[in-house]
Structure 1
Amino acid sequence: MSASVSMPLGGVQVGSYDSYAQAQAAVDYLSDERFPVENVTIIGSDLKQVERVTGRLSWGRAIAAGAAGGAWWGLFVGLLLGIFAGDGGSWLGSVLTGLLVGLLFGALFGAMGYAATRGKRDFTSTSAIIAGRYDVMCNPARAEDARTLLARFSLRG
């Protein structure tokens, strides 16, 4: 079913909140009050991407991060191969070989990835998309009931 011009995506607005946690708590309250929450949608508006710089990236950090990631993959592969080993010595050998091969290839790929940037991104960061406002929307047939319950929710605090 497509949305019409008269009814926006998700229905009609029954509440608006500054954070996702507040909108989630409101919907949780509706659920606790036995409201049919399958009629509810949370819509984030005024989206922005936030990138938090976490540190400087150097050759050493790039190689170490690649080696650490490769070591985990190598350990995983070594454990899988070790399942089919005949005795304890072969099992340990499979695990150690996988770990070392993964470490070496991870370090190599970490160095290659850092070299490919040619110094244009010498930092590490994390990104998130956050909304400026979160609207709780509801099917118009149930909107008045939802508004009544959410008014009670906002009064409790």
Structure 2
Amino acid sequence: MMNTATSASMRITIAAASGDQVSLGSYPTYAQAQSVIERLADQQFEVEATEIIGNDLRMVEQVTGRLTWPRALIGGIASGAWFGLFVGLLIDILTTVSFGRAMLFGLTWGVIFGGVYATVSYGLIAGRRDFTSRSAIVPRRFEVLVAATHSDRAHALLADSSR
């Protein structure tokens, strides 16, 4: 047997798949689109019938710095150290080795392998990508949609809340 929340969720998913939705507006920021949903929620609207859709997606890569041999090596050593501490913790839990020895063992080998891995990796790409970055998929606009069966009530509530 299906509970009410699951049943409502399935109806909304089916409505979305069939394209049976109405736009409540398009906004340049997620915060503005979210505030529309919040205004509806404050008035006890069935917010499960709404969606925020990011449109006009673009991939943005923000360059965070220059990648050099020392930076690559320090990054590899640091990530190896964290992994080594995790391995040391597992050794401590799964064996009779003392906590200190297990952590020292894991940390030592983590630093060694992390440093070697970073050196080899950077050596293979040096000169082709000498920078660090982070990427994100970012929409230009956010559209608030509501199931067509709820659109009249949603429009009325939004009109009342903006006065």
Q: Partner amino acid for 1:133?
A: R
Q: 1:123 maps to what in 2?
A: 131
- Residues 47-80 of structure 1: CA distance to partner in whole angstroms, max 9, x if unpaired? 1111111100011111110110110010011012
Q: 1:141 maps to what in 2?
A: 149
Q: 1:27 maps to what in 2?
A: 37
Q: TM-score, normalised by structure 1?
A: 0.85
Answer yes or no: is 1:79 the counterpart of 2:101.
Answer: no
What 5-or-longer segments of structure 1 have no aligned partner?
Answer: none
Q: Partner amino acid for 1:36?
A: E
4+ long deviations beyond 6 Å:
none
The verdict on how the C-alpha distance between 1:73 and 1:51 changes in structure 2, with shifts beyond 3 A counting, is: same
Q: Which of 111, 114, 121 is the matching residue for 2:119?
A: 111
Q: TM-score, normalised by structure 2?
A: 0.82
Task: Identify the structure with the greater helix proportion.
Answer: 2
Answer yes or no: is 1:151 the counterpart of 2:151.
Answer: no
- The number of residues matched between the two structures is 149
Contact 1:85-1:91 at 8 Å conserved across structures: no
Structure 2 distance, partners of 1:150, 1:127, is 36
Q: Which of 83, 94, 105 is the matching residue for 2:102?
A: 94
Helix, strand or coil at the partner of 1:121? coil
**Which is further off, 28-37 or 96-105?**
28-37
Task: Among all aligned residue pairs of Structure 1 and Structure 2, give the percentage whose two residues are the same amino acid.
Answer: 46
Q: 2:24 maps to what in 1?
A: 14
Structure 1 distance, partners of 2:86, 2:160, is 52
Helix, strand or coil at the partner of 2:119? helix
What 5-or-longer segments of structure 2 have no aligned partner?
Answer: 1-13
